[in-house]
Amino acid sequence: MTEQPMVRFENVSKRYGTLTVLDELNLEIARGEKVSVIGPSGSGKTTVLRMLMTLETINDGVIWVEGEPLTHMKKNGKLVPADLAHIRRIRAKIGMVFQSFNLFPHMTAMANCIEAPMTVLGMKRAEAEARAAELLDLVGLSQKKDHYPSQLSGGQQQRVAIARALAMRPKIMLFDEVTSALDPELVGEVLQVIRQIGREHDLTMLMVTHQMGFAKEFSDRVCFFYQGKICEQGPPGELFGAPKNERTRQFLHAVLEAG
């Protein structure tokens, strides 16, 4: 038997009223795989991440994480919508970094990183702080641990947000356009950190990005979304080098033109 995929979307649909954002999505992500999601705005790519993080409910289908349903639970042999306890148990495997950082503004970098480990995982403060110090060091911010978010640059804030997510020891990391809100000169430092944790940690990563260069160099697979469906996917060399689909070609052409 082959190994369970880390994440599996099975016929997942998402609608807002009459607008279908995602149309019967089927997607499997293997353990340790780095997958980039690209596509025009409104193509549903961010929705994929938000559903996996349970920030959005789904209308149809099932999302599986390590062979267990995230959105549903088994009851008397049938799948029923999951209750909160079930969702929280599965959700613990997933971490997310947001486009707008979403750091807690009233807490220092360190406090941001120990809040969830202490209250959710029940870690002792000393242990949580030691772990957070390591992670802040990893993202190059050990000097800034007592700074508040408003005292940090955008790039620094985003690196704290990455450390905060890692502090929960997730198996899956979601990156939602994490460099889109940054000034151009700050993008590099954040991508560098993502590269590094990709190398050093055994993480499954799913990222929505507009950085085509980074997607090409970093990911194992790239998915191109168009109008709520995966229009084309494949290794970055193929998808960027020789896109098969006309839509993909148009999109890449337009993006490269702008870049």
Partner 1 sequence: MIWDWSFTLEILPVLAQAAVVSVEATLISFVLAATLGLVLAVVRIAVPRTGWTISVLVELIRSTPLLIQIFFIYFVFPKFGLVLDAFTAGVLAIGIHYAAYCSEVYRAGFDNIHRGQWEASIALNLSAWTTFRDIIIPQAIPPIVPALGNYLVALFKETPLLSAIAVMELMQTAKIIGSDTFRYTEPITLVGLFFLAMSLVSAALIRALERLLNRRTVR
Binding flag, residue 105, partner 1 (CB under 8 A) = yes
Please identify, using beta-carbon distances, which residue of 5 and 170 lies nearer to partner 1. Answer: 170
- x/- mask, partner 1, residues 215-234, rule CB under 8 A, reads --------------------
Closest distance between partner 1 and the C-beta of residue 107, in Å? 8
Candidates 30-38, 88-96, 138-146, 224-232: pick the segment binding partner 1 (CB under 8 A): 88-96
Smallest distance, Å, CB 96 to partner 1?
4
87, containing H or E segment: helix 84-91
**Does residue number 92 form part of the binding site for partner 1 (CB under 8 A)?**
yes
Residue 165: other Cβ atoms inside 10 A:
22
What tokens appear for 200 in the block?
A: 């050093």
User: Cα–Cα distances in Å, from 209 out to 12, 84, 107, 180?
Assistant: 21, 30, 28, 8
Q: Which is nearer to partner 1, 204 or 248 (CB)?
A: 204
Any contact of residue 66 with partner 1 (CB under 8 A)?
Answer: no
Surface-to-core class of residue 9, CB atoms within 10 Å of its CB (0-12 exposed, 13-18 middle, 19+ buried): buried
* Cα distances (Å, whole numbers) of residue 197 to 19, 72, 106, 256, 259: 37, 31, 27, 27, 26
Taking the least distance from each CB to partner 1, the nearer of 155 and 243 is 155
Give the Cα separation of 230 and 226 in Å (integer): 6
One-letter amino acid of 239: L
Burial of 191-223, coded b for 16+ CB within 10 Å and e otherwise, reads bebbeebbeeeebbbbbbbebbebbbebbebbb
Q: CA of 205: how far to CAs of 23, 33, 168, 250, in Å?
A: 22, 6, 15, 26
Could you say which of 30, 42, 68, 148 contacts partner 1 (CB under 8 A)? 148
Between 92 and 133, CB nearer to partner 1 = 92
Least Å from the CB of residue 117 to partner 1: 9
Between residues 115 and 134, which has the closer beta carbon with respect to partner 1? 115
Q: Of 120, 242, 254, 256, which one interacts with partner 1 (CB under 8 A)?
A: 120
Distance of alpha carbon 113 from alpha carbon 157, whole angstroms: 12
- Enter the tokens of residue 211: 């950085």
Please give the size of the binding site for partner 1, defined by CB under 8 A: 27
13 binds partner 1 (CB under 8 A): no
Minimum gap (Å) between residue 177 Cβ and partner 1: 13
Site for partner 1 in 152-191 (CB under 8 A): 164-165, 168
The strand pairing partners of 62, in sequence order, are 10
Give the residue with the Cβ less far from partner 1, 176 or 232. Answer: 176
Interaction site with partner 1 (CB under 8 A): 53-55, 88, 91-92, 94-96, 98, 100-106, 115-116, 119-120, 148, 150-151, 164-165, 168
